[in-house]
Amino acid sequence: MIHCLLIKVSHNSRGLPVRSYHTLTCDELTLGRGAENKVHLSDPRVAMHHAVIKRLDDGQPHLVAIHGELEVDGAQQQSVALTHGQRVMIGPYQLTVEPAPPDVDLAVSLVLAHRLPDDYQDLKSRTREPLSGAAAFKRRLALWLAGLTALVFLGLPLAQVLISSFRTTMNEQPMGFDRVWSPGRISTAHQHFGAQCANCHQVPGQRVTDQACLACHRDTAPHIVDPALQQHAFAAKGRYFLHGGVRCIECHSEHKAPYPLVRQYNGVCVRCHGDIKAVNPKSLLPDIHDFDHDHPGFKLSFKTGPGEQDVERIAQADKTHLKENSGLKFPHSQHIGLVQGPGGMSDIRQLTCASCHHPEGKEMRFAVVSFKRDCLSCHADRLEVGPANATLRLPHGAEQDVINVLKAGAPKQFARYSETLKSDGCGYCHDMVSPAKDDPLPWRVTPLHITQDWFSKARFNHASHRTQRCQSCHAVEHSESSADVAIPDKLSCLRCHAGSSPKYRRIASSCMSCHDFHNPHVSSYGGGGANAQDVAPQPR
């Protein structure tokens, strides 16, 4: 790319030079008599495409001849390096390289050094036109073509829109006349009704409304959970957007295939989140402009109960409270690498993360760990009581079921076996609690609250990171407690990801790389409430 300051020098009626300035930015700066050239030289002694200014392999701008001649100090040259003070004749024009201001790469001046002889105009006036009447024919042809263009691209499409019988007839055809108004190909998501323009363009001549989008996308969740705050933030006329409030088209550009329907542009998000207090003065969110610069550290969602709302958000910087109370006893350090199986020293097994964590789906989300699938092969003996010749196998399930089998299978040893299960059977993997006074069971297992979605306000695709080892992001080799949280923090992500612009050995990551505009945890526009800090789904 060349940023060039072009200075055209002419002379006024008193013969004094007059300089006009133009800034041009392009990969190649063409000069010639043709109107399509970046620099138009109207003198007939200049070729239609005379020369071009471009960078050669050395990275410096050069003037290269195309169909004309370049003269430097009376010698013809094919290519001239444009250094300070260099002068080149382009036909009758003199090009001079001048000192460039700081904001441009090159500054050149052009002056007509050799004017046409005085008899040129007289000679031109006495020249006979080779094709008499050609101009009149061209005018008639132009009028006919203009009428045909108006008929095909204006008259027939309008007739199809305004005349119902004509519209009905054309709807049965594979392509109607209104297709000529389409600015581009329809996106893949809408191709199943792409020929039915009225689905989106409900009123001819008017822009597509949000109601037309919501007629199909009824289950699309809002950006903000609180309906009142949603209305306030996105209906602020003239605050951020041209047409008063935010429309679907602000982020979804149709007729741009093969480009995606969703605009991957940080500026749309920064319009609000760059000054979040202007949208909601009560918001506790900070202003965010770029992931690499001012995005806050992450917050993790901890499951604290059986309900969907039983979630606690804890910042990763808060190491004191960053502990998972899942109800399990699980040391990762004893489940990675070579471990001894239930068969003793002759049963050595190689365990990896994939031994217990099974990916599913195209985003490689992980299935919930199952005792029968992932634990039973190594820990079956924890559900067995009694001597080798009279072993009693117990089910893995509700406490009442375990106690019933124990009473039925070993009534005399019930008290001893029950205590064994509490300390070294069920209690080997589960936290145990003492029962209430009126509880008929001798012990209870602490209910499990295992977090499956740590980033509930963002999304993470493991499939995009399949080339990395699990331990690159999850440091669990030395974890001795299930309370340890091995979720990567922001600094871990910044080792490979940058903000909106790529950095050395780091890829560019926009807001949409991790966030969905439509809150995935809300099913309808009217559902749920919101706290002041929940202005938008954010990993904090």
Q: How confident is the model at residue 54 (pLDDT cuts 50, 70, 90)?
A: very high
Q: How confident is the model at residue 236 (pLDDT cuts 50, 70, 90)?
A: low
Please name the residue ranges forming H helices in 206-308.
Answer: 210-214, 227-234, 266-273, 276-279
80: CB partners within 8 A, 6+ apart: 62, 63, 64, 70, 72, 86, 88
Distance CA 174, CA 183 (A): 18
Q: What confidence score (pLDDT) does residue 527 get?
A: 37
User: So where are the chain's domains?
Assistant: 2-117, 227-279
Distance CA 462, CA 472 (A): 13
Q: What confidence score (pLDDT) does residue 532 get?
A: 33
Residue 44 pLDDT > 80: yes
Residue 57 pLDDT > 90: no
Contact 303, 452 (CB under 8 A): yes
Half-sphere exposure of 170 toward its Cβ, with a 13 Å CA cutoff? 20
Q: For the chain, what percent of residues have pLDDT higher than 90?
A: 51
Contacts of 397-403 spanning 24+ positions with Cβ under 8 A: 399/426, 399/441, 399/443, 399/444, 399/445, 400/441, 402/426, 403/441, 403/442
3-state DSSP assignment of residue 77: strand
Q: What confidence score (pLDDT) does residue 538 get?
A: 35
Q: What confidence score (pLDDT) does residue 33 get?
A: 92
Q: pLDDT for 68-99, tens place per residue?
A: 999 999 899 999 999 989 999 999 999 999 99
> pTM of the predicted model, to two decimals?
0.62
Half-sphere exposure of 49 toward its Cβ, with a 13 Å CA cutoff? 8
Q: How confident is the model at residue 229 (pLDDT cuts 50, 70, 90)?
A: confident
Q: What confidence score (pLDDT) does residue 524 get?
A: 35
Q: What confidence score (pLDDT) does residue 448 get?
A: 93
**Chain-centroid distance, C-alpha 281:** 28
If you average pLDDT over residues 434-463, what whole number do you get? 91
**Domain 2-117 CATH assignment equals 2.60.200.20:** yes
Q: 289 is written with which tokens? A: 């402009």
Q: 49 is written with which tokens? A: 């495409």
Distance CA 272, CA 290 (A): 13
Q: pLDDT for 123-153, tens place per residue?
A: 667 666 666 677 788 899 999 999 999 998 8
**Residue closest to 231 by CA, chosen among 244, 213, 219:** 244
Residue 176 pLDDT > 60: yes
3-state DSSP assignment of residue 349: strand
If you average pLDDT over residues 260-272, what whole number do you get? 84
Q: What confidence score (pLDDT) does residue 47 get?
A: 92
If you average pLDDT over residues 336-351, what whole number do you get? 91
Residue 51 pLDDT > 70: yes
Q: What confidence score (pLDDT) does residue 97 get?
A: 93
Across-strand partners of 315?
299
Whether the ω angle into residue 258 lies within 30 degrees of 0, i.e. cis, is yes
Residue 523 pLDDT > 90: no
Contact 2, 54 (CB under 8 A): yes
If you average pLDDT over residues 485-514, what whole number do you get? 92
* Angle at the Cα of 235 from the Cα atoms of 231 and 240, rounded to 5 degrees: 135
Q: pLDDT for 345-381, tens place per residue?
A: 899 999 999 999 999 988 888 999 999 999 999 999 9
Q: What confidence score (pLDDT) does residue 240 get?
A: 47
